[in-house]
Amino acid sequence: MNYFDKKIIWVTGASSGIGRELAIQLSKYDCTLILTARRKEQLEDTKLKCGNANVQIYPFDLSRIDEIDDFSSRVQKEVGEIDILINNAGVSAWSGVEETDFKVYQDVMTLDFYSIVKLTKSVLPSMISRKSGQVVSVSSLLGKFAIKKRSVYAAAKHALQGFMDALRAEVYEHNIKVNTVAPGYVETEVGIKALTGDGSEYGANDRGHDTKGMKAKTAADMIINAIAKNKREYYVIPLLSFSRFALYLARFAPGLAARIARNYNENEN
């Protein structure tokens, strides 16, 4: 039996990009998939791409955090107790600190951090009572180090990193697995949907999400492998890449990493 067989797996942000590819790849196993995103039509398209798999779609805007508990209760009542929760939904942002409205910080933190905390907490009681379960969050390399014009996104991902680390320590005794996966540059629409300083969508792919990025399917395959192997923290980047080099510098040569962060231009690399 495959690791994912007979499991109920909930994937958020499943309407496009990595989330969609996760759903498509997981649909090859004998599991039940719950897919959530804001855009119903795109969710239906994802379901169609999953073929004859057991896929349930639940459109929902996770930024409505006050409604998450009721939403999650309904999903679990109708489908069943969650075995694996994959927190993938999120939004990026690209602007300098000075020109960024405070509301942009609030909006990004709401979706990229608070909604994950809320949804995770909603499935934890069931996992704890069963002494079984797995919580996976898709973070970013910017959850480990930050560069200029990424303060909003990096702040949210740093918060997520800390939350997942603490959660892992707390639920270890309950046999619950907690995994953080951190992609680098991936070909998705996240750059187009990224927020600018005034909260409007950027509208075009930045360097980080153009044709130089990893294919979303490749990233999804790597993430699925990491989940099955219970990788505590996994970087979804090529072995030989600038991103991996930057991670190394951030850990062992922080001064040099800081200099790179000051001068790094995503449009030129």
- Packing angle between helix 254-263 and helix 242-252, nearest 10 degrees? 130
Beta strands in 19-67 (DSSP E): 32-36, 54-57
Cβ atoms 230, 177 nearer than 8 A: yes
Which helix (H) or strand (E) segment holds residue 180: the answer is strand 176-183
Active-site pick, 58, 114, 153, 235: 153
Q: Coil, strand or helix: which one is 20?
A: helix
Q: What number of residues does the chain have?
A: 269
Q: Coil, strand or helix: which one is 161?
A: helix
Active site residue 235: no
Query: Which pairing describes strands 84-87 and 233-236: parallel, antiparallel, or unpaired?
Result: unpaired
Cβ atoms 91, 194 nearer than 8 A: yes
Instruction: Name residues whose C-beta falls within 8 Å of residue 20's C-beta, 6 or more positions apart in sequence.
Output: 14, 42, 46, 49, 216
Other Cβ atoms within 10 Å of 211 Cβ, number: 7
Show which residues are catalytic: 153
